Amino acid sequence: MTHTPAPSAPLFCARDLRLSFGLTEALRGVDLTIRAGEILAIMGPSGSGKSTLLHVLAGVLVPAGGSVVYDGRCISTMNEAERARLRLTEFGFVFQFGQLLPDLSALDNVSIPLLLSGTGRREALARAQELLAVLGLQDCGDKRPPQLSGGQAQRVALARALVARPRVLFADEPTGSLDSLASEQVMELLAATVRSFGVTMVVVTHDPRTAAYADREVIVRDGQIRTGFDL
Amino acid sequence: MKTLTLARLLLAHDRAALLRLLGIVCGVAVGTALFLTLWGFSQGITARTERATWPDYATDGTAGIHASELVGELPPDQIIISGNSAVLYPSLVDHFLDKRIGVVRIAATEDSTVAVPGANPVPRPGEYLASPAAAALIAEYPPELLGNRYGQSAGVLGDEALGSPGSLLIVRGATVEEMRLQSDAFVVSSLAGKAFSTSAFRIAAIVGSIAILLPVLLLISIITRLGAAQRQETFATLRLMGATPAQIARLAVLETGITSLLGAVAGGALAWALSPLFAQIQIDNERFFAADIQPSVPFALGIALLITVATTLVAWVRALRSQNTGLGASREIVEKKPGLWRLAPLLLGMVTLAGGGWLSSHYDLFSGLSEILFSILFVAGFVAILVGLVLAGPLLTWWASRFAARFSRSAAGVIAFARIKQHPQAAFRAVGGLVVAVFVVSFFFAAITIARVDTDDGAGAAEATDASLSGTGDATGNASERAAARPAPPLLHASLSGGYTVADMDAVQTQLEAAEGVTGVVVVSYLEGPAGEEAASSEGAAVIRATDAAVLGIPQAEVPDAPWIAVPPRYLPSAYVPSDADPAHPIQAAQFADIEELRPSYLLVAYGGDELMCERVRTTLLTSSLRLVMAPLTTAEMRDDGSANAFIQEYAYLANLGVLIATAVSGISMAVSTISSILDRRRTLALMRLTGMPHTALRRMIAAETLLPLFVVFLLSTALGFIVAQLLLSGLTEGRRFVDFSLLDPMYFVVLAISLLLATAAIVATFPTAHRSTALTATRFE
Ligand SMILES: Nc1ncnc2c1ncn2[C@@H]1O[C@H](COP(=O)(O)OP(=O)(O)OP(=O)(O)O)[C@@H](O)[C@H]1O
Ligand SMILES: [Mg+2]
């Protein structure tokens, strides 16, 4: 299931990224270009530096060396507040589990990013409800996360990541805690939604079936990109 | 031992768990220390009252014969004692500047066998023993100001005669002959103090202790829940691995047992170490001997053991109960929606208090019984309200959170109020201590507005007198205009023993007028007719020499042309002014047939100068040959004696101290529970920050989570404080009296503001920790 990438301008340009945690060199000179609208899978063995790379690209971690240029802006030289602002307005995130606030209903959880960026409560709830419906969760809005199944919770997390209409979606093992059927459903929905919204997606996974939804894949090994068709 | 190994393993790398254990140690230590200290105070008050009341020979009901009835020589197994300690008769003491000095006179034979506390031997006539504080005071000033009043110093009085290290007490030696003339001298064969405490004091002590201890209990309960979510997870994993509920409960017992024993013992040591500091706290205007408030070692150990057993038992039951959810249950700690029953104890308490007030006002016939009944009802009602507040809090918080959630617009608000709605008990527990403290202090300040009404009436009257004397008040009409013209003479009032004639006084007057500092002496006499003094005073006529009128500041124009004039009470300094005294009553010539009819009653001595000059003149009066009923008093002192105001100030001070302690403890509670609630959501909140939630949103969320319950608390407890005070007072006075808001002590608002500030500071203090623990690098996201 490979799609031909639409020819478009590079959105991310990472050059010679380096980052160590103490003695562990997590990134050892990574070069990576990501085009707008594409779905990129980052694969590799455990501990190879996939999550670290994702976090550096998203401006969560600051690289010790090298630079990340996103849409003409250099993320690696921004201050924390600017990066937080960028993450809030332009990026969305989906993780393996535990990203929903347990006290809030699914609907409220989805509405939070909108509220954070200043949308009114009523409008935020309406847009959240709309998106939940798109993801087949129209009946789950009032439930709280502990009352949701794993697959439902991941779809709510997806809705939350997409509700503010980000340009880029970062997903770290989005199906890691799900069984193969649920994982298939979530991934299919994820890919379809991302494409229909025109969102660029970076997905970290070690599951080839998840990677199969991507336009392109790179493999990280020992903090470096080893194979793949990176340009 | 297997349990111990497991416990050590679990604790080794869990910061929240270590923090929790450390917290339990500190919390239990503070709680134990406060409890022991409060207990120490109650013991200390008894102990010192028992010591300090020894000169109150009448307290044991075995006062012997009056000194004037003594026939023949004084036997060695008896002494004569006169004068009272400040405890029972505060009006019968000497004054110096703003201090009161108890003066006891004792006549004993050379070979007396009667033990006088702290005085061995009993001072000879003309000599005196002074308490250390009194001796220091005497040494500080020239003898003509103070020391000369009592004679020759013969040393220092022992501590066993004193209630407090600050007690000002003088024991003077006197001859039997001198004592025979003393109106309050009795022959006794032994001296012993007696502990007593008023039921008002006992009630205040019980209520105050609860108000201070409840916040500590809440704090401990909060600390033991620190990191509960993580713990629950660990326990669930252990259960999955095959541990039985009993094994896990044992783990909890071991953990809590050791930590709370450590805490309790540390608390005992803390109470001991801090007792010299606590001894500086004044109750009834007196500090304490540290030894009086130090609980005995066996008692402290017993309490430490009791506290350990209690906390361990609670931990055990809680651990067993939390296992009941069974395996595979959600990781979430569920809180039940608070039920309406939570309001019941609160309402019950209010009904009890209102009913108690009403009952005791309606059954005055059995006044003794009614006082006991009232005490019991009051304490029961009050405790029910305190406990009821803590129980009702979560329900009210829950209601408030539902309301607030509906109207919140921001992400911080939505997150915070949802949290409170799901965890109303935890949210309220954080501020529960403050509820109790604020309630007690509100009740107290509301209730004393009543007493203020009473004393203000008195003060008002006294001010009127003052105004007529000093011309600074604004009494109505002509009188005030006339008064305004008069200078303000400071006066000392010296009551004379009976038996003096006008002729005796003439000599005294000339002699006194020559003394340093004395600018005028007025002898005030009353006419002794068939109806005696009473007839004269109801007419408002004290008789003075016309030539002395100027000393009182009466203008010459108002003085009739007669050698003796009758002066209405408003021209004279007095503690008591009859309310029906005619303000316009003029000064008239005194009507009497013979000068022998005049009985000199007291002297008014004007002193030109400051308060030191006043003391000099007072000493002159005391060391003269005059026989006085009591030490001379200034106008202000006459008014002050027996006033309820000082008493109220005293309680207000203790209430403020209590509320500040409770608030400080509550502040810690708020901080700990805020941190705890952040730690429970650490991963999720860190993820939220990762997705771009700014710092300010996190801070606002924390603030909203604490401020809502805080707001509920302040509203609830202040309102309830006033309502309960009203219920009680209207019950006691059959609906005749109301809490008067205009008379609220400004101190009340100051204390409330400080409480709020402390609470806010506690919240703000958690920001950095909250920030750090949700830092992007603190959690790994997969
Ligand atoms: N905060 C950190 N502190 C210390 N070391 C870290 C930290 N984050 C990552 N590392 C180390 O950096 C290396 C790369 O970690 P990373 O999380 O990027 O691996 P990964 O490829 O995502 O692995 P997995 O597939 O298991 O999730 C690992 O050796 C890891 O131990
Ligand atoms: Mg990873």
DSSP secondary structure string, B49-60? HHHHTTT-TTTT
CB contact under 8 A, A116 and B693: yes
Q: Is the CB of A205 under 6 A from ligand 1?
A: no
Question: How many C-beta neighbours within 10 Å does residue B115 have?
Answer: 15
A contacts of B684 (beta carbons < 8 Å): 98-102
Nearest to A36 by CA among A155, A168, A230: A168
CB contact under 8 A, A101 and B683: no
What distances in angstroms separate CA B208 from CA B135, B187, B514, one per listed residue? 35, 42, 55
Q: Is the CB of A152 under 6 A from ligand 1?
A: no
Write down the pLDDT at residue B89.
Answer: 46
How many angstroms separate the CA atoms of B214 and B438, rounded? 12
Which pLDDT tens digit goes with each residue over A163-222? 989 999 999 988 887 888 888 888 898 899 999 989 999 999 888 888 889 999 999 998
Q: Which residues contact A124 (CB under 8 A, 6 or more apart)?
A: A111, A114, A115
Q: Is the CB of A45 under 6 A from ligand 1?
A: no
Q: What is the mean pLDDT of residues B388-408?
A: 88
A99 touching chain B per CB within 8 A: yes
Residue B584 sits at the vertex; the CA angle it makes with B579 and B586, to the nearest 5 degrees, is 115
The residue contributing the CA closest to ligand 1 atom 25 is: A46
Q: Is the CB of B777 under 6 A from ligand 1?
A: yes
pLDDT of B709 over the 50 cut = yes
Higher model confidence: residue B65 or residue B778?
B65
| Res. B464 pLDDT band, cuts 50 70 90 | very low
Pocket test for ligand 1, best of A19, A25, A51, A203 (most atoms within 8 A of CB): A51
Q: B216 and B432 in contact (C-beta within 8 Å)?
A: no
Ligand 2: centre distance to CA B113 (Å): 93
Percentage of residues of chain B with pLDDT beyond 70 = 80
The residue contributing the CA closest to ligand 1 atom 31 is: A47
pLDDT of B258 over the 70 cut = yes
Ligand 1: centre distance to CA A20 (Å): 10
The residue contributing the CA closest to ligand 1 atom 22 is: A51
CB contact under 8 A, B691 and A161: yes
Residue A228 tokens read as: 């793949």
Q: A210 and A183 in contact (C-beta within 8 Å)?
A: yes
Instruction: Determine which of A103, A144, A165 to mutate to test the interface with B (most B C-beta atoms within 10 Å).
Output: A103
CB contact under 8 A, B781 and A104: no
Percentage of residues of chain B with pLDDT beyond 90 = 9
Nearest CA distance, B19 vs chain A (angstrom) = 24
| Res. B267 pLDDT band, cuts 50 70 90 | very high
Which pLDDT tens digit goes with each residue over B131-145? 999 999 999 999 988
Ligand 2: centre distance to CA A33 (Å): 20
Which pLDDT tens digit goes with each residue over B625-655? 888 877 888 877 776 655 556 666 777 777 7
Q: What is the mean pLDDT of residues B281-300?
A: 86
pLDDT of B460 over the 50 cut = no
Determine the distance from the C-alpha atom of residue B321 to the mean position of all C-alpha atoms in its chain, rounded to a whole number. Answer: 43
The residue contributing the CA closest to ligand 1 atom 4 is: A21
A contacts of B681 (beta carbons < 8 Å): 101-102
First to last CA, chain B: 37
The lowest-confidence range among B11-20, B420-429, B479-488 is B479-488
| Res. B726 pLDDT band, cuts 50 70 90 | confident
Write down the pLDDT at residue B185.
Answer: 80
Instruction: Specify the DSSP element, H or E, that contains B359.
Output: helix B344-362
Which pLDDT tens digit goes with each residue over A84-116? 889 888 999 988 877 888 888 999 999 999 988
Write down the pLDDT at residue B57.
Answer: 61
Task: Give the one of B408, B414, B684 whose C-beta lies nearest to A98's C-beta.
Answer: B684
Nearest CA distance, B764 vs chain A (angstrom) = 20
Q: Which residues contact B773 (CB under 8 A, 6 or more apart)?
A: B675, B678, B679, B682
Burial class of B584 by CB neighbour count within 10 A (0 to 12, 13 to 18, 19+): exposed
Q: B344 and B322 in contact (C-beta within 8 Å)?
A: no
| Res. B733 pLDDT band, cuts 50 70 90 | low
Three-state SS annotation for B95-117 = EECCEEEEEEEEECCCCCCCCEC
Q: Is the CB of A21 under 6 A from ligand 1?
A: yes
Q: A81 and B694 in contact (C-beta within 8 Å)?
A: yes
Nearest CA distance, A134 vs chain B (angstrom) = 22
| Res. B333 pLDDT band, cuts 50 70 90 | low
A176 touching chain B per CB within 8 A: yes
Write down the pLDDT at residue A167.
Answer: 93
For chain A, what is the mean pLDDT?
A: 87
Determine the distance from the C-alpha atom of residue B188 to the mean position of all C-alpha atoms in its chain, rounded to a whole number. Answer: 35
Instruction: Determine which of B232, B331, B414 to mutate to test the interface with A (most A C-beta atoms within 10 Å).
Output: B414
Listed in sequence order, the DSSP H helices in A117-149 are: 121-134
* Ligand nearest to the Cα of A43, by number: 1
Write down the pLDDT at residue B136.
Answer: 94
For chain A, state the CA radius of gyration.
17
Write down the pLDDT at residue A32.
Answer: 93
Q: What is the mean pLDDT of residues B220-249?
A: 77
Instruction: Determine which of A54, A96, A116, A178 to mutate to test the interface with B (most B C-beta atoms within 10 Å).
Output: A116
According to DSSP, the β-strands at A65-70 and A73-74 are: antiparallel
Total-model pTM: 0.73
Q: Nearest residue of B to residue A124 by CA position?
A: B409
Ligand 1: centre distance to CA B98 (Å): 75
Q: What is the mean pLDDT of residues B262-281?
A: 91
For chain B, state the CA radius of gyration.
34
Instruction: Determine which of A70, A79, A85, A115 to mutate to test the interface with B (most B C-beta atoms within 10 Å).
Output: A115
Ligand 2: centre distance to CA B688 (Å): 18
pLDDT of B508 over the 80 cut = yes
CB contact under 8 A, A84 and B688: no
Ligand 1: centre distance to CA A52 (Å): 6
Higher model confidence: residue B741 or residue B668?
B668
Write down the pLDDT at residue A133.
Answer: 92
How many angstroms separate the CA atoms of B469 and B553, rounded? 7
A98 touching chain B per CB within 8 A: yes
Q: Nearest residue of A to residue B331 by CA position?
A: A146
Residue A64 tokens read as: 């010790």
